[in-house]
Amino acid sequence: MSSAGLWMLATLAVLVIATGLPAWALLIGTSSLFGLAGVLTGQVDPALLGALPGRLVGLLENDLLQALPLYAFIGLLLQRLTMARNLHALLTRAARRTGAAPALATLGVAALVAPMNGSVAASASMLTRLVGPRLGGVAPARALALMSASAALGVVVPPSLVLLLLGDAMLNAHTEAVRLPWFAGTDTARIVNTQDILRAALVPALLVLAGWALVAWRQARTGADDAPTLSRGARLEALAVIAAVALLVTAVFTGVVRAVEAAATAGCLAVAWALVSRELKGHDWRELLSDSLSLSGALFALLVGATTFSLVFRAWGTDQWLGQLAADSPLGHHATAALLLGFVGLCAPVLDAFEMIFVVVPILAPPLIAHLGDARQAAVLLLLVLQLGFLLPPLGYAVLMTRALSGLAPMSLGSLVRGLAPYLAVPLLVLVAAFGWPALVHLLDGPGANAAAAAPALPEDEVERLMREMAPAPDPVAPQQPQ
């Protein structure tokens, strides 16, 4: 019955789609049902379920998760300030000769602001409110596709919260992977950290952004762009936002400041600007704080549900069963890795990014890393698969959220698919490139990022000779420990 965890996933997927009840409650309900069944049938040790309070305390004392309310607050604050609107107007003016200025400006705003939004939902909310009314000249399906893609941009653009949490999850997964006896690579010199993942994701993210800009330009060309007029103050405000984001992102990449501290700095600057400019009244502040509390609660609830779910999933032994299946795979390393990524892709339209990171990644990432032999490549591939999953019509999360919030006229599935297809093709191409050419994710590797992988490979007999010289009493089956 080790496969029971897969039935948990299937039950969850059916309940999420059929009932429309909150996903966090369904995660907990499904876990409770399977946990109880496991205890009653003697398949699950009740003592394992006693670890739940400790795991939830672990969430509350997680350093990285402190950033969750921060990101939610900043995202909601930016929706209420004129900053994002001025930024969109400035970028529209800058791109006015292209014939697709509002669409290109939408991607520009998303790229600058999405990393500070807490989730795809927050990005979708901001973009539909800000950009929706300004895309009147674009066909509804194409406008929806553009806003969905822009909302999903925050998944891959550093230093988004999704990337930070994935970095943390990959650290644990890499530690587990290098202990597997069938680990395929040499990426054992140092376990990856969040900074490594941020660096690895940047080039693929820029490629996705460039590809989507091309698609947006082709799809949204209307020939005549009415460039909005901007006051001197509004222009300066927009330029200040671009400068601040550029400075903070540079500071994160050069290691001067941690990603969460950079986001907090941006938050403090935005609050200071809101106070100085008096854009928000007392009622607006109270509403903003209440909305931040609710949005943070919605995101944190998903983590609580996912933590409960993964505990029961592991209590059934499904993680080990899947790991063994992956180890025994007759398909070879790359084909098995592709299958694992396909499984992640199947889950992505049903589960939110946070559920994916806390439920699916801890289970599938260790065998994926072990088959690829490269934790950074595995992280980037997972991000791209997540992004693709969010854009798959009709259930992709970004598509669902944008469709619900945009107020656009109903459209057929066919027109939606046609609008989204080019946007799906871009991350798919980058995914294929990162899969076939792992160097793509190592272009910005820091010095000493992977000493073992960077070292020139020695012939096998030479390695054996050196090992014999170094170890007088060799133990050929001793597992390799991470440093």
Partner 1 sequence: MTTPLFRLVRWLVLPLTVLLFLQWPLRDAVQAGSREANDLAQILFALYAACAITAASRAHQHLAAHGSRRFHPGSPAAAWALAVCLVPWAGWLLWSASPAVWQSALALERFPDSNNPGYFLIKIAAWLMAALVLIDALAALATTRRAS
Applying CB under 8 A, the residues found at the interface with partner 1 are 16-26, 28-29, 31-32, 49-50, 52-53, 56-57, 59-61, 63, 65-70, 73, 121, 257-258, 260-261, 263-265, 267-268, 271, 286, 289-298, 300-302, 304, 308, 350, 352, 395, 400, 404
- DSSP string for residues in 428-444: HHHHHHHHH-GGGGSTT
Q: How far is the CB of 349 from partner 1 (least distance, A)?
A: 10
- Tracing tokens 């073992």 back to the chain, one arrives at 452
CB of 398 to partner 1, least distance (A): 12
CB 119 within 8 A of CB 161: yes
Spatial contact of 92 and 227, defined as CB atoms under 8 Å apart: yes
Residue closer to partner 1 by CB (options 202, 298) is 298
User: Which CB, 56 or 429, lies closer to partner 1?
Assistant: 56
Specify the residue, 91 or 263, whose C-beta has the smaller distance to partner 1: 263
Minimum Å gap between C-beta 406 and partner 1 is: 14
Q: Name 86's Cβ contacts closer than 8 Å, sequence gap at least 6.
A: 230, 234, 235, 237, 238, 241
3-state secondary structure of 313: helix
One DSSP character per residue, 394-431 reads TT-HHHHHHHHHH-PPP--HHHHHHHHHHHHHHHHHHH
Q: Closest approach of Cβ 6 to partner 1, in Å?
A: 20
Query: For residue 276, is it left (φ>0), alpha (ψ between -120 and 50) or beta?
Result: alpha
- 276-300: burial string, b at 16+ Cβ within 10 Å, e else: eeeebeeeeeeebeebbeebbebbb
In single-letter form, the type of residue at position 284 comes to: D
- Cβ at position 348, least distance to partner 1 in Å: 13
How far apart CA 393 and CA 132 sit, in angstroms, is: 19
The encoded tokens of residue 182 equal 């069938």
DSSP designation for 4? H
User: Taking the complex as a whole, how short is the minimal distance between the CB of residue 94 and partner 1, in angstroms?
Assistant: 30
Least distance CB 351 / partner 1 (angstroms): 10
| Residue number, 203 or 252, with CB nearest to partner 1 | 252
Look at the block and give the residue holding tokens 């553009």: 146
Nearer to partner 1 among residue 65 and residue 114 (C-beta): 65
Would you say 140 and 171 are in contact if contact means Cβ atoms under 8 Å apart? no
Smallest gap from Cβ 160 to partner 1, in A, equals 16
CB proximity list for 310: less than 8 A, separation 6 or greater: 358, 359, 362, 363
Name 13's Cβ contacts closer than 8 Å, sequence gap at least 6.
347, 350
- Whole-angstrom Cα distance, residue 393 to residue 395? 5
When the beta carbons of 39 and 339 are compared against partner 1, the nearer one is: 39
Smallest distance from partner 1 to CB 196, Å:
21
If the CB atoms of residues 171 and 257 are measured against partner 1, the closer one turns out to be 257
Q: Give Rg (Cα) of the chain.
A: 23
Residue closer to partner 1, measured from CB, 53 or 436: 53
In the bound state with partner 1, the residue whose beta carbon lies nearer, of 174 and 258, is 258
For residue 110, which of 160, 167, 64 has the smallest C-alpha distance?
Answer: 160
Task: List the Cα angle 390/115/305 in 5-degree steps.
Answer: 55
Residue that is written with structure tokens 């890499």 in the block: 174
CB of 340 to partner 1, least distance (A): 25
Per the listing, tokens 């795809």 go with 120
Nearest distance in Å: CB 346, partner 1: 16
Q: Please say whether the beta carbons of 116 and 263 come within 8 A.
A: yes
Least Å distance, CB 290 to partner 1, is 5
Q: Closer CB to partner 1, residue 57 or residue 210?
A: 57
Residue 22 or 345 having the CB closest to partner 1: 22
Q: Which is nearer to partner 1, 220 or 351 (CB)?
A: 351
Closer residue to partner 1 (CB): 116 or 130: 116
8 Å CB contact between 295 and 118: yes
CB atoms within 10 A of CB 228: 18
| Smallest distance from partner 1 to CB 479, Å | 28
